[in-house]
Amino acid sequence: MALRIQNISKSYSNGVKALHNISLNIPAGMYGLLGPNGAGKSTLMRTLATLQEPDEGTINFGVINVLEQKEEVRQTLGYLPQDFGLHPKAKAEELLNYFAVLKGIKEKKARKEVVEALLRQTNLWDVRRQKLGGFSGGMRQRFGVAVAMLGNPKLIIVDEPTAGLDPAERVRFLNLLSEMGENSVVILSTHIVEDVSELCTRMAVINKGKILLETEPHKAIEDL
């Protein structure tokens, strides 16, 4: 399934035009949205995650009209926001189980299996009984991925997930994301060039709300 974004524009009430006529076709695989602070990345990501309305434009995910069929999108959406807040006193396994309940995974045995599989995949199994407040940045982001992956989403939106990670954690995080998102559309927003050059199959560069370039990462680097 592919994500098709057509002519999306958004102005905020303070007059800032955050997105100017954005059009992108995003195939399955890991897709990088590269741009500096204030480029409009979070605005676009929130719009794709059905948390914000654009002023104009259309978005389709396969046969789903994203701006009209929000419930359908949310059933197949995994979203890791930039300011992913955690409850410092909650333990990893308990909180993931709680999110699994919210996600509608009702049957206890199936939920237990899903939670266990995700904790193992994100390499958090050994710390599952620890409080999130003691987690490193990398552990926190891996926990965020586990939450985002609940319910096997086909559209996965991760907003600046590597900001603040050290290089080793960054690489580990990106590998995890690319493995877990193999059969989904994964959109990764970042201001770090290496995030897109290492594992993304395609990429767009955004600045001041406009797409400057849409290409394969190795071609973008050749063009520099």
Q: Which is nearer to ligand ADP, 85 or 134 (CB)?
A: 85
Upper half-sphere CA count for residue 203 (Cβ side, 13 Å):
26
The DSSP bridge pattern shows strands 17-26 and 29-34 to be unpaired
Q: Which is nearer to ligand ADP, 92 or 150 (CB)?
A: 150
14 forms part of the interface with ligand ADP (CB under 6 A): yes
118 forms part of the interface with ligand ADP (CB under 6 A): yes
How many CB atoms sit inside 10 A of residue 176's CB? Answer: 19
Are 178 and 156 in contact by the 8 Å Cβ rule? The answer is no
DSSP string for residues in 112-141: HHHHHHHHHHTT-GGGTTSBGGG--HHHHH
Q: Work out which of 3, 32, 35, 181 binds ligand ADP, going by CB under 6 A.
A: 35
Q: In 3D, which of 51, 13, 2 has the Cα closest to residue 159?
A: 51
Site string for ligand ADP, 40-79 (x = CB under 6 A): xxxx------------------------------------
Q: Work out which of 3, 73, 80, 114 binds ligand ADP, going by CB under 6 A.
A: 114
Which 162-221 residues touch ligand ADP, going by CB under 6 A? none
Interacting residue ranges for ligand ADP, rule: CB under 6 A: 12, 14, 16, 18, 35, 37-43, 110, 113-114, 117-118, 149-152
